[in-house]
């Protein structure tokens, strides 16, 4: 299996009514040197200014981003290029990140190379610690900046640390 750590930024709470503004992906490996960054033109007139502000982009900037169909096609090609095994989607908040990535894949290119499931890094760590109040965020090395590639890399670093320090049985 090939684990792909993903982080997205959006201008609202759900896909379709609102837009995914950008996303980053990192192939989880010892080097963390294979990354993808996509910036997507909005698909809706609706946006929540406070949500958009988290991305660090203005509405005017986002209107100049790439067409979502092209970005999702490029992401699919990148996944195929970097994965020698079945790609596994994992993120810090897969309920949110997966919702956008899955919807955009199916809406714009009629398929999702990740299939129909995702994994949640936070839940994995809580299970390892056997404590629902624990968080993995102290295991990140890369600062959480809301640049989705930085955030995905930090989460991938945390997963590598969990493997090393906690003996997580996982193959990359």
Catalytic residue positions, numbered: 146
Q: Report how far apart, in Å, the C-alpha atoms of 109 and of each of 101, 106, 112 are.
A: 11, 6, 8
d(CA 76, CA 82): 10
Residue from 15, 1, 19, 39 nearest 95 by CA: 15
Q: Work out whether the CA dihedral 19, 147, 98, 107 comes out positive or negative.
A: positive
Q: 78: helix, coil or strand? A: helix
């Amino acid at each position: 299996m090939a684990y792909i750590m993903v982080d997205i930024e959006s201008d609202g709470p759900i896909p379709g009514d609102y837009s995914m503004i950008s996303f980053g992906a990192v192939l989880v490996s010892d080097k963390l040197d294979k990354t993808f960054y996509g910036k997507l033109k909005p698909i809706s007139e609706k946006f929540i200014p406070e949500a958009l502000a988290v991305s660090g982009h203005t509405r005017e900037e986002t209107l100049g981003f790439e067409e979502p169909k092209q970005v999702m096609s490029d992401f699919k090609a990148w996944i195929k290029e970097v994965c020698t095994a079945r790609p596994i989607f994992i993120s810090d908040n897969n309920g949110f990140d997966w919702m956008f990535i899955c919807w955009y894949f199916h809406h714009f290119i009629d398929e999702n190379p990740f299939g129909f499931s995702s994994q949640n890094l936070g839940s994995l760590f809580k299970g390892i610690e056997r404590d629902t109040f624990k968080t993995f965020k102290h295991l990140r090395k890369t600062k959480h900046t809301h640049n989705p590639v930085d955030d995905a890399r930090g989460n991938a670093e945390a997963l590598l640390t969990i493997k090393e320090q906690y003996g997580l049985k996982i193959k990359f």
